Amino acid sequence: MLRMLKQIIRVGSLSETLAPSDQVEQLGEKLRESVRKRFAGSLTIRAVDAGSCNGCELEIHATNNAYYDIERFGVHFTASPRFADMLLVTGPVSINMRRALEMTYEAMPEPRLVVAMGDCAIDCGVFGRDNYAIAGAVRDIIPVDVQIHGCPPTPSDIIQGILAAVESR
Amino acid sequence: MSYPTNTWFAERLGDAGIRCDYLKGHRPAHMPCLEIMRLEWAHAAAEARRLDMRLVALWAAEAGPNDPGNAPLYAYMAFAHPEHRHVLLRTPVQTELPSICAHYIAACRMERHMQDMFGIRITDLPDDRPWIRHEHWPRDAYPLRSAFDAQRPLPHEDHGDYAFVRADSPGVYEIPVGPVHAGIIEPGHFRFLAVGEQILNMEARLGYVHKGIERAMQGRSAEDGLRLAARVSGDSTVAHAWAFAQAAEYAAGIEVPRRASFIRALLCERERIANHIGDIGAICNDAAFTFMLQQMHRLREQMARLNRRIFGHRLLMDSIRLGGVAQDIDTAAAAELAEQTERIAREVEDLRAIYADHPSIQERVVGSGTVSAADALDLGLLGYVGRASGHYPDERIEEAYPPYDEFKVAIPKGKLGDVATRVWVRFEEIAESSRLILAMLRALPEGAIHTDWQAPPAGISGFAAIEGWRGEVAAWIRLGEEGRVDRYFVRDPSVINWLGLELAVRTVPVPDFPLNNKSFNCSYSGNDL
Ligand code: SF4
């Protein structure tokens, strides 16, 4: 126990301010102040891999590490879509995941913010649209509010994309 | 590098009365492809089993540009022997092929994959349910047949549900999990049969992230194909890219400069360390030991940052190119890599002492999810999963591709096969990979970091086996006109290791499943292709 405490003290606090991002692209209508108020400084996200290579997931994990610490922005990941404010979708939507993605989206309460994260989620990426196994990009399946470019996007871009989505409605 | 032709298995087949011919358009010679008659297919597999060979993979391909044209399809299988390396067998197929499951149980899902993709009927298949082909696929869609229109998404049809293994007993209940899992992980479905807290059976239903990679590869230039191969499983991008590149380079008869092979290995060992670090943290987190998750993720982040600075990508994607690597390392970068490697190895050892000394985590991992040595051998479990259960295939040693022909790799030899041993193997591998990286940096040869890519004539195939962090990645590639990819097949180690997980969790209570799952950490994307 003492060793753990020593280690924690030795490492100290690592959280950094985020570098500016040019990878975030807002779709849909602009800022509705009420949304910001509705979330009361706290946002709950359900992440869905709709066909990713797992590279994007690794970077979502990284948003939780001590350097980026996404929780300091009031952002939490949840297991249930029932109380999720936002859907964070990665990967091209595979035909075998399409139904599960739609069901997750339908299970969410309004206003159902959706962030499409990564080049695959935006335009099917390296896997291509002309592919029997790909139903389409996320936008082809469910409405999307914000897109975050990158293969995969960096943790800092992901956090900024998420924050942008909160401001996009 | 040129090796003599590997004749060992052909001779053994000859002893057993099985006639085989060396396929001319296949390389390298030390991993030859032998053509046999279809009637001898199962017999040859039986011989391989008798000779203690490991089943590497099973796949099919349409006839290539140089094939005689009397069969529309060929089935392939690859075996490996610890001392006699890899060998491929192939046989022409009209419509049917006998199953080899009686000799290698791990063949089953690969045979189901062949049925799904080509419509080849595998006879005597003990489990002939569709695998990657989910229930909503049209009945007559066989995506790897050239007649199939692969340009449009498959239409959705309704053909009922997957026939999961069921239990009739009233005390047994089912827990369906997925495809969308609770955490931030890849999707797949697990069906548990449980009595009280105890798991009786766990069945994985995968294929959810099937992205048509094999078909999407066809017709791409090799350079473009490499970008796709690097995304078969994003956490193993170096291993998959290396396997693709090496198979293509073998086919083309291209030798990679020594400096490039050193840098490839350095990238691959860094990938191994980073993933083990991340997984150890995640395993501990599944037992509510968050301290370790945070500490490990801190180290992982430091590696990602240095990766980006030196190699241009946090996860090392696209750092390998055909004929070599994309990025050289100068003296300053080499010094930074060495410094970080040493420091992280040291920090991991300190954290390991805390982990070993922490009863609440030890109680959860020791004795949980055991796979016996006999089962590991039977399934042919790979990587750290095999190494925890007395089965030690490692291509860095057996295949000893450059630069591992210059370095002796020490692999941890576990026996107990539980979560604790899988974690132990990972700690040991972090230490060993760190040692290797430092040794490689010290011995880094001067010279070019790539050589020009020159495609071989159409119809030549190549095969490579690379020891990625999860275990052996086996890739087979056949190049067509203008150097375009004609057919690519890859077997991620997860295809085999998923079977180990199903076996391991038959002895654990439901709440310990996540812990076990993480200790295997099989790839979904690499499995589903
Ligand atoms: S964007 Fe890149 S990292 Fe993300 S899923 Fe697609 S290929 Fe993988």
Give the ipTM of the model, two decimals please: 0.93
Per-residue DSSP letter, B418 = S
In this complex, the residue of B179, B183, B213 whose CB is nearest that of residue A100 is B179
Give Cα B488 distance to the centre of its chain.
14
What percentage of chain B exceeds 90 in pLDDT? 85
Q: Is the pLDDT of residue B1 over 90?
A: no
Please, what is the Cα angle at B15 between B10 and B18, to 5 degrees?
65
Q: Which of B15-24, B219-228, B459-468, B495-504 has the lowest mean pLDDT?
A: B15-24
Is the dihedral angle over the CA atoms B122, B124, B130, B132 positive or is it negative?
negative
Q: Does A67 touch chain B (CB under 8 A)?
A: yes
Chain A residues 134-153 with a CB less than 8 Å from chain B: 134-136, 151-152
Partner-chain contact B154 A133, CB within 8 Å = yes
- Which pLDDT value is given to residue B160? 87
Nearest to B186 by CA among A101, A52, A89, A88: A52
B160 within some domain: no
**Is the omega angle on the peptide bond into residue B130 within 30 degrees of 0, that is, cis?**
no
Helix segments in B357-493, DSSP class H = 359-365, 373-379, 383-387, 395-398, 419-443
- Please state the φ and ψ torsions of residue B84, each to the nearest 5 degrees: -120, 20
Which pair of structure tokens corresponds to residue B239?
């291993």
Ligand 1: residue of B231, B237, B240 to mutate (most ligand atoms within 8 A of CB) is B231
If one counts every other C-beta atom within 10 angstroms of the C-beta of residue B161, the result is 7
Kindly report, residue by residue over A15-70, the tens digit of the pLDDT.
887 777 777 666 544 333 434 566 766 889 999 999 999 999 999 999 999 888 88
Helix, strand or coil, per DSSP, at residue B486: strand
Partner-chain contact A58 B136, CB within 8 Å = no
Total CB pairs under 8 A between chain A and B: 161
The alpha carbon of residue B80 is apart from the nearest alpha carbon of chain A, in Å, by 28
* Residues from chain B contacting residue A131 (CB–CB below 8 Å): 150-151, 153, 211-212, 215-216
CATH number for the domain spanning B469: value is 1.10.645.10
Kindly report, residue by residue over B70-122, the tens digit of the pLDDT.
889 999 999 999 888 999 999 999 999 999 999 999 999 999 999 999 999 99
Distance CA B513, CA B369 (A): 8
Partner-chain contact A3 B353, CB within 8 Å = yes
Say how many CA atoms lie within 13 Å of B20 toward its Cβ. 28
For residues B93 and B236, membership in a common domain is answered with no
Domain extent at residue B440:
229-497
Domain boundary among B64, B97, B123: B123
Kindly report, residue by residue over A138-165, the tens digit of the pLDDT.
999 999 999 999 999 999 899 888 888 8
User: How many angstroms is it from A6 CA to the middle of ligand 1?
Assistant: 38
How many separate domains does chain B show?
2
Q: Amino acid letter at A4?
A: M
Helix, strand or coil, per DSSP, at residue B163: coil
Give this prediction's pTM.
0.94
For residues B113 and B246, membership in a common domain is answered with no
Domain boundaries, chain A: 25-167
Residues B53-89 as b or e (16 or more Cβ within 10 Å = b):
bbbbbbbbbbbbeebeeeebbbbbbbbbbeebbbbbb
* Region for residue B253 given its phi and psi (left: phi exceeds 0; alpha: psi -120 to 50; beta: otherwise): left
- Which pLDDT value is given to residue A169? 62
Q: Which CATH fold topology does A25-167 show?
A: Rossmann fold (3.40.50)
Give Cα B60 distance to the centre of its chain.
17
Question: Is the CB of residue A51 less than 8 Å from the CB of residue A134?
Answer: yes
